[in-house]
Amino acid sequence: METRLLLPTKENIELTAQALANGQLAAIPTETVYGLAANALDGDAVRKIFEAKGRPMDNPLIVHVSDLASVKNMELVSEIPPKAVKLAEKFWPGPLTIIMPKGKAIPNEVSAGLETVAIRFPSHPVTRALISAAGVPLAAPSANTSGSPSPTSAAHVMHDMSGKIPYIIDGGICEVGVESTVVTTVSDTPMLLRPGGITLEQLREAVGEVDVSEAVLFKLKEGQKAESPGMKYKHYAPKANLILIKSDDEKYIEYVNSRKNDNVGALCYDEDEENLSVKTFPFGKKNDFENQANRLFDALRSIDETNLTTVYGRCPETYGTGMAVYNRLIRAAGFEVIELA
Ligand code: AMP
Ligand code: MG
């Protein structure tokens, strides 16, 4: 299959929206990461997403809408819980996905057989224009091969999806850079299932108490259930063995430099670069978590363009947007952390 890379002109948005409405796939930019979209109301179209990504069928997809009204009108959910209303009013359009009881219109392929469905109203103007023009909600997971870092540029999508899908819309670099925050409102107390651009602190400010799923920060034990199916899979890992180093700046630099050889690299903060004597992959400024989120996946992908065997990474903070960065990095490192006293 030939993959066409299109700029988001009016004509191209119309062309792609038609293709989506007719059951084809398209990779589309959003403010979080690039999504691989299909008509969310068409089970056969949605199935193609799982094939193109190699995604396990038990990992449900997020349904994207371009207005709040269609969530109820189109029977995407059976009910909008009061806390979901509050969260939607506060954070939509934006990088927040809300889990609600599933409505009649949602095919099993989207919800992976669960009784709930994940809904998001994105803020990116191109995403919104595409959903409106298609006239249907779009199911869209990240547009990467399952297990790889999520794509934050059209080039990343091309790398993973070339020959597998008909269209990629190039909307430049994604602003947030990590996938949406996922929160469920099906439980009495809302629970954070995946951290993202909307922080835990912001959620708590909006609706009071919010629990945090254990899988956000810790490795699940054998047989332990993941509240969000996606959290049980190995994810984002580069080919090289990535090990996180929890320490201050000086000890990190000393540790990495003492292990210098041709096969060793460093996934570091910008400020570390000048002091490191191995190949560096800077993923952001030390105290700027938004900048780290924005650049992390590109840095992880660039490790894969080398033949390094071991990469030592900085261990990010776990508050604010840092929690989203930590959640991705700890998975990329297979939960391997060395703490230097
Ligand atoms: P992605 O599409 O790559 O952004 O991944 C979507 C994430 O949302 C995955 O971690 C899914 O497991 C999670 N998700 C989607 N639908 C549900 C749901 N109904 N309940 C819990 N988690 C969900
Ligand atoms: Mg994904």
d(CA 50, CA 30): 19
- Report how far apart, in Å, the C-alpha atoms of 74 and of each of 19, 127, 132, 135, 188 are: 20, 19, 13, 11, 25
Cβ count within 10 A of residue 240: 20
Res 23 pLDDT > 80: yes
Does the global pTM surpass 0.95? yes
Residue of the CA atom closest to atom 23 of ligand 1: 228
Residues within a 6 A CB radius of ligand 1: 59-62, 99, 111, 114, 116-118, 141-142, 179, 182, 193-194, 228-231
Residue 229's contacts (CB-CB under 8 Å, 6 or more residues apart) are: 58, 59, 60, 112
Taking the CA of 187 as reference, the closest ligand is 1
pLDDT score of 101: 98
Taking the CA of 122 as reference, the closest ligand is 1
Q: Using the mean position of ligand 1's atoms as its centre, give its distance from the Cα of residue 250 in Å.
A: 38
- Among residues 201, 216, 231, the one where a domain terminates is 216
Total domain count, the chain: 2
Mutate to test the pocket of ligand 1, among 28, 46, 59 (most ligand atoms within 8 A of CB): 59
Please check whether residues 62 and 179 belong to one and the same domain: yes
Q: Using the mean position of ligand 1's atoms as its centre, give its distance from the Cα of residue 297 in Å.
A: 19
Please check whether residues 207 and 275 belong to one and the same domain: no
Res 228 pLDDT > 90: no
- Among residues 181, 216, 251, the one where a domain terminates is 216
Res 282 pLDDT > 80: yes
- Residue 157: is it exposed, middle or buried by C-beta count within 10 angstroms (0-12/13-18/19+)? buried
Residue of the CA atom closest to atom 20 of ligand 1: 228
Residue 70 domain-assigned? yes
Three-class SS of residue 18? helix
Beta bridge partners of 310: 241, 264
Mutate to test the pocket of ligand 1, among 31, 55, 61, 192 (most ligand atoms within 8 A of CB): 61
Q: Using the mean position of ligand 2's atoms as its centre, give its distance from the Cα of residue 176 in Å.
A: 15
- Among residues 216, 233, 260, the one where a domain terminates is 216
What the block records as the tokens of 223 is 């047989």
Q: Using the mean position of ligand 1's atoms as its centre, give its distance from the Cα of residue 231 in Å.
A: 8
> For residues 201 and 320, is the Cβ–Cβ distance under 8 A?
yes
Residue 109 domain-assigned? yes
Mean pLDDT of all residues belonging to the chain: 96
Three-class SS of residue 1? coil
Please check whether residues 256 and 333 belong to one and the same domain: yes
Q: Using the mean position of ligand 2's atoms as its centre, give its distance from the Cα of residue 331 in Å.
A: 13
Closest approach atom of ligand 1 to CA 114? 19
d(CA 250, CA 241): 22
At residue 237 the predicted structure's pLDDT band, cuts being 50, 70 and 90, is confident
d(CA 289, CA 319): 9
Residue of the CA atom closest to atom 12 of ligand 1: 230
Closest approach atom of ligand 1 to CA 141? 2
Please check whether residues 253 and 166 belong to one and the same domain: no
Q: CATH code at 136?
A: 3.90.870.10
Please check whether residues 281 and 190 belong to one and the same domain: no
Taking the CA of 196 as reference, the closest ligand is 1
Please check whether residues 120 and 182 belong to one and the same domain: yes
Angle at 146 between CA 105 and CA 119, to 5 degrees: 30
Residue 16 domain-assigned? yes
Domain containing residue 147: 4-216
Taking the CA of 111 as reference, the closest ligand is 1
Q: CATH code at 329?
A: 3.40.50.11030
Please check whether residues 198 and 100 belong to one and the same domain: yes
Average pLDDT (271-279) is 98
Residue 236 domain-assigned? no
Please check whether residues 17 and 147 belong to one and the same domain: yes
Please check whether residues 211 and 246 belong to one and the same domain: no
> For residues 179 and 150, is the Cβ–Cβ distance under 8 A?
yes
What tens digit of pLDDT does each residue of 156-202 get?
999 999 999 999 999 999 999 999 999 999 999 999 999 999 999 99
Range with the poorest average pLDDT among 42-56, 82-96, 100-114, 225-239: 225-239
d(CA 32, CA 209): 25
> For residues 131 and 218, is the Cβ–Cβ distance under 8 A?
no
pLDDT score of 187: 92
What the block records as the tokens of 128 is 């919104």
